[in-house]
Amino acid sequence: MLLPSVLFADPAGAVRIIDADTWDVGGERVRLFGIDAPEAAQTCQRNDGTAWACGRWATAEVDRRYGGRQALCERLDRDRYGRSVTRCHIDGVDVARQLVRDGLSFAYRKYSMDYDLDEKGAAQSGRGLHGTVVQAPAAYRAAQRSRTAATSVSGCTIKGNISSRGVRIYHVSGQHHYRRTKIDTTKGERWFCSAAEARAAGWRAARR
Q: What is the pLDDT of residues 59-104, one digit of tens each?
A: 999 999 999 999 999 999 999 888 999 999 999 999 999 999 999 9
* Total count of domains within the chain: 2
Task: Looking at the structure, tell me whether residues 57 and 107 fall in a common domain.
Answer: yes
Q: Do 147 and 167 sit in the same domain of this protein?
A: yes
Which of 134, 168, 196 marks a domain boundary?
134
Statement to judge: residues 119 and 146 lie in one domain: no
Which residue, of 109, 134, 159, is where some domain finishes? 134
Residue 190 sits in which domain range?
139-205
pLDDT tens per residue, range 13-42: 999 999 999 999 999 999 999 999 999 889
> Mean of the per-residue pLDDT values for the chain?
89
With 0.85 as the threshold, say if the pTM is over it.
Answer: no
Q: Does 129 share its domain with 189?
A: no
Domain boundary among 84, 99, 134: 134
Higher pLDDT among residues 201 and 146, named by residue: 201
Q: What is the pLDDT of residues 93-111, one digit of tens each?
A: 999 999 999 999 999 999 9
Claim to verify: residue 128 and residue 147 sit in the same structural domain: no
pLDDT value of residue 35: 98
C-alpha to C-alpha distance for 83 and 40, rounded to whole angstroms: 18
Which DSSP string corresponds to the chain? ---HHHHTPPPEEEEEEEETTEEEETTEEEEETTEEPPPTT--EE-TTS-EE-HHHHHHHHHHHHHTT-EEEEEEEEE-TTSPEEEEEEETTEEHHHHHHHTTSSEE-TTT--TTHHHHHHHHHHT-GGGGSB---HHHHHHHHHHHHHHHHHTT--EEEEE-TT--EEEE-TTSTTTTT----GGGT-EEESSHHHHHHTT-EE---
130 and 164 co-located in one domain? no
Judge if 20 and 49 occupy the same domain.
yes
Whether 84 and 28 share a structural domain: yes
- Let me know whether 158 and 118 are in one domain: no
